[in-house]
Chains A and B, each alone.
Chain A
Amino acid sequence: MLDVIEFSHTYGTGTKAHLAIDEVSFRVDAGEIVCVVGPSGCGKTTLLKSVAGLHRIDKGEIHLRGNEVRGVPGDLAVVFQDYSRSLLPWKTVAANVEFPLRDRGLSTVERRSRVAEALAWVGLDAAAGKHPAELSGGMQQRVSIARALAYRPALMLMDEPFASVDAQTRADLEDLVLKVRSSAGMTVLLVTHDIDESVYLADRVLVLSPSPATVVETLKVDLPSPRDQIATRGSDAFVHLRTEIARLIRR
């Protein structure tokens, strides 16, 4: 699905040049959830934005479904951390979800049914006519997720999606991602600084080093599905994995 091959990214030029990502290679298979963890400021977001085609790719290659990424690919959706700045406050929830569909040559009927379906997935059918400011933070992030789902991307990118919500909402949203992955067959690449979250959500965890980012280790997460906030997080395998990742990041 996604192949990142010896990808490097440098900010600035000349003496001010700063190497943010150093020859990172990894892949994401269809239907997988891959989490990228690493210390703050290590270049996780830069990596995600590069995959999204929002940065120019100077060195290395990124392939999405076999096509080299040059500019923004058409089958990819992004969920940003800052939902309130990503959503359009002057549009209703339904109009926000519908907005990216408008330039895709879909009929009105098709657009409406996709919006309704996506809002049902995230449990916001009743809020379709409201404006984002009328919703809680967690519900606003659900709108962003619905917007990504309605777009029906091959790959969903999530940049620290739950870093700005409270703990209970965070747990709910994590379970929502797992749910839509199984019901919508979504492939997800999620960036987080929260080790527990990465283990809880992922099929594989990609551990990055401090800046410039390199791949320290890729860990397979062999936890049983469906995952459960209490049972999974309490299991020996979970504790073992999170300890190992913590050790890798500390090093």
Chain B
Amino acid sequence: MFANSKLIAFVQRWLVFAIFVLIWQWAATVTNNVVFPTPLAIVRKAQQLWLDGPPSRLFLGSGVNTDILPSIGRLAGGWAIASVVGIVLGIALGLVPVLADYAGAVLAFMRAVPPVMLVPVFLVLFHIGTPMQLATIVFGSIWPVLLNSVDGARSVDPIKADTARAYRIGRLRWIVSVVLPAASPKIFAGLRINLAFALILMVVSELVGSADGVGYQITNAEGTFDYRTMWAGIALVSVLGFVLNRLLVAVENRALAWHHSTRLLEG
């Protein structure tokens, strides 16, 4: 019974996706346009590019080192910096209203700047390379988690605040053990949007200024009319986004188990 319902959920989730791929395969075969290769051809190309290595290296080919690892490194680094800075700054702004009053206008202005527009600025400042890409990712993706952290820190229940004061809970313990967990549902929601932004900006920064990584590979392939490689790069980015989001949701489900059970009982 239980296994059965799990199977149904699995089918529901992937059925439309499978049909989409089949239609794509059929349409690409019929039109036979070099710019739109079939999914099968794209997968085969991806295998050649990244999975042609020996079994001792888990079949990972040399392309992984130049195309995938630099991108993952930038993405993870940028996302981590944006998240940590966003959470720390957001909690501080949320806890000290005066600080938020002073910084509010500057933050609203900075947030309104489309991050892609800053790529030329960062190119001038840092030249082509990882620092420029990190700056783009951090600046562009910090906002969701920053604003959600402010919101989360502000919305700590006043009764919890009174309780903590009455029991003379220390300032640091109050922040770490009460404010942070209380804000964590909102922080995690911010982290997920953050991750999506970081992925987009990683690709954008590599399209514009990079000598390696998947974004560079996509533009390079496009420039040399190697459309299969270009599509393989695009597919790689979506797979990367999907897998990372899944990982984050798994972490969130563990960390917020208390939150979900509270909501279930109340609902």
Contact = CB atoms under 8 A, between A and B. Distances in A.
B261 A131 contact: yes
Given A82-B159, A85-B159, A103-B173, A76 B259 contact: no
Nearest to B177: A99
A54 B166 contact: yes
A49 B261 contact: no
B163 interface: yes
Nearest to B172: A103
Interface in A75-90: 76-78, 80, 82, 85-86, 88-90
Give the interface size bracket for B toward A. Answer: 20 to 34
B258 A103 contact: no
Interface string A206-225: 00000000000000000000
Contacts, number: 62
Interface in A83-130: 85-86, 88-90, 99-100, 102-103
Contacts of A103: 168-170, 173
Contacts of B173: 102-103
Contacts of B184: 90
Do most interface residues of chain B lie in helix, strand or loop, or is the interface mixed?
A: helix
Interface in B227-267: 258-259, 261-262, 265
A77 B262 contact: no
A23 to B, nearest CB: 25
Contacts of A85: 157, 159-160
A133 B160 CA distance: 16
Interface in A47-68: 49, 52-54
B169 A133 contact: no
B46 to A, nearest CB: 42
A134 interface: yes
Interface of A: 49, 52-54, 72, 74, 76-78, 80, 82, 85-86, 88-90, 99-100, 102-103, 131, 133-134, 147, 151, 157
Interface of B: 157, 159-160, 162-163, 165-170, 173, 177-178, 181, 184, 258-259, 261-262, 265
10 contacts: A52-B166, A54-B162, A54-B166, A72-B165, A80-B163, A85-B157, A99-B169, A133-B262, A134-B265, A147-B167
Given A72-B166, A74-B168, A78-B166, 16 more contacts: A53-B166, A54-B162, A54-B166, A76-B166, A78-B162, A85-B157, A85-B160, A86-B162, A88-B160, A88-B177, A99-B169, A100-B167, A131-B258, A133-B258, A133-B261, A134-B261
